[in-house]
Structure 1
């Protein structure tokens, strides 16, 4: 579910079920052409679909961080803390092109980087692995 689909009344009703917040991270540098930026957004959209579609009803997707900056880990950690204080039990950061280290994202419960996962399991195994990691998160 996208944050823009939520009303104050529906949030009050669904907050118990929507316990996981998804933060997309595009990792643009500003050096991309418009075509390259569009392609990056499409890769991120496709990567997010691996979580948003099968786990609809439990995941709330927030607005994306589009541009990389030197203090990105601090910004994402601060945002993760604030989202948890607003009622989310879990925060997941997903990036198709950016490489974020879980060890740097201490306030996020899970960091999924498509480029890293491709190296681990190949393109064909990503969807299955992402689903497994989300389910493992919820078992903790």
Structure 2
């Protein structure tokens, strides 16, 4: 579910069911021409579908973090920290074009970067993305036990 689809009047009632926030990371540099920027956004949209569609009732997708040279991810990390302070238990960052180092994003619970899934596509890729998200949720449950 996209953040813009949430009705303000029903958020209080829905919030307990949405414990995971998804942040798309485009990684544009500003050096892309319009066709390259469009292609990057389309790749990201298609990659996000692998998480958004199967987990529509539990994940809310926030606005994309569009620009970043991947040299300093402190702003993205701070945004993730702030999102958690609003009540989200998990933050997932997804990127179709960029690998993101976990060491630079300690507030992120799961990084899903398409370049890390070389050789996978279609149903296999979708199953792997879903499995990684479910593992994140299951690992939290085992900590609570």
1:68 Cα offset (Å):
1.0
- Partner residue, 1:12: 12
TM-score by length of 2: 0.90
Q: Where in structure 2 are the equivalents of 1:1-140 lying within 5 Å?
A: 1-69=1-69, 70-71=71-72, 73-118=73-118, 121-124=119-122, 125-140=124-139
Give the deviation of 1:5 after TM superposition. 1.1
CA distance in structure 2 between the partners assigned to 1:98 and 1:130 by the alignment: 16
Q: Aligned partners of 1:25 and 1:4: how far apart in 2? A: 18
TM-score (normalised: structure 1)? 0.93
Unmatched runs of 5 consecutive residues or more in structure 2: 140-145
Cα shift at 1:9: 1.9
Alignment partners' CA distance in 2, 1:100 and 1:122: 19
Q: Deviations over 1:15-35 (max 9, x none)?
A: 100110000000111111111
